[in-house]
Amino acid sequence: MRMEDKVVLVTGGAAGIGKATAERFAEEGAQVIICDLAEETGKKVAEAIGVDFNKVDVTDRQAVQAWVDDVIAKHGHIDVIVNNAGIVRDGQLVKFKEGQLVGQMSEADFDLVISINLKGVFNCAQAVAPQMIKQGGGVILNATSIVGLDGNFGQTNYVATKAGVIGMTKVWARELGKYGVRVNAVAPGFTATEILNAMPEKIIEGMKARTPLGRMGAPRDIANAYLFLASDEASFITGETLRVDGGIVVGT
């Protein structure tokens, strides 16, 4: 029960890694509150694992602040936030065929991914930081990706956000360390979440083949990394990005 009596927020907690993270922290005794835009799914997940749910758009600063204020009013403290919410909208910067421009990443797709994956993390961290400072400590955990470190074909927007999250993590670790607030990031590799259900089996097998450990990561693998970084076992770790990727190097 490493997280007994701890209040933990998880964004994007209705599915995938967010759901697994909420489950894992709850197993360790935490009072977990998840948020997501998928209200119906989020409520079902929350009921199934015994946590609380709120519908929150992480791009909406006022909504995020209202959520955080409500948690503080009910529980009196916030010990951990896992900034997990994120999306993908892939596309090449420019796509040429037979010497002609035939496609490119849209501005709308670029802006949407930046708004959720990067600004959403900023909004949530900025909302919880004052409370963590007042109470003398806390942990901010940010979802990045191995592609934020290595890059990836067709993901200009997504890679930009995940690289940005790594940068923000380092800045916040420096700014908040003197208040006892630790800030770290987790960089998952290929992970078996619901997103992969629509992918051809050939692509999934290719992902496994490129991973030295020979399998996809499970959401629980990533959740375990968040749990470790949130726990007192990681009390001298801040400003770091932990790869949880089975040894893969993207592009090889």
**In a domain? residue 155:** yes
Name beta bridge partners: 156. Answer: none
**In a domain? residue 2:** no
The position carrying tokens 């799914």 is 41
What's the rounded Cα separation, in Å, for the pair 159 and 11?
20
Total domain count for the chain? Answer: 1
179 is catalytic: no
Residue 193's pLDDT is what?
Answer: 86
218 sits in which H/E element: none
* pTM confidence score: 0.95
**3-class DSSP state of 102:** strand
Check which CATH number belongs to the domain holding 223 and give it.
3.40.50.720
What's the rounded Cα separation, in Å, for the pair 130 and 176?
10
**In a domain? residue 137:** yes
CA distances from 9 to 52, 55, 117, 138, 216 (A): 10, 13, 16, 12, 26
**In a domain? residue 252:** no
**In a domain? residue 68:** yes
**In a domain? residue 249:** no
**In a domain? residue 127:** yes
Name beta bridge partners: 242. Answer: 186
The position carrying tokens 């259900």 is 197
What's the rounded Cα separation, in Å, for the pair 139 and 221?
19
- pLDDT per 10-residue tile (average), the chain, 252 residues: 96 97 98 98 97 98 98 98 96 95 97 98 98 98 95 94 98 98 96 78 84 92 98 98 89 53
236 is in which domain, residue-wise?
A: 7-244
Which positions ≥6 away from 209 have C-beta within 8 Å?
A: none
**In a domain? residue 199:** yes
The active-site residue out of 158, 172, 190, 226 is 158
CA distances from 88 to 53, 113, 154 (A): 23, 7, 11
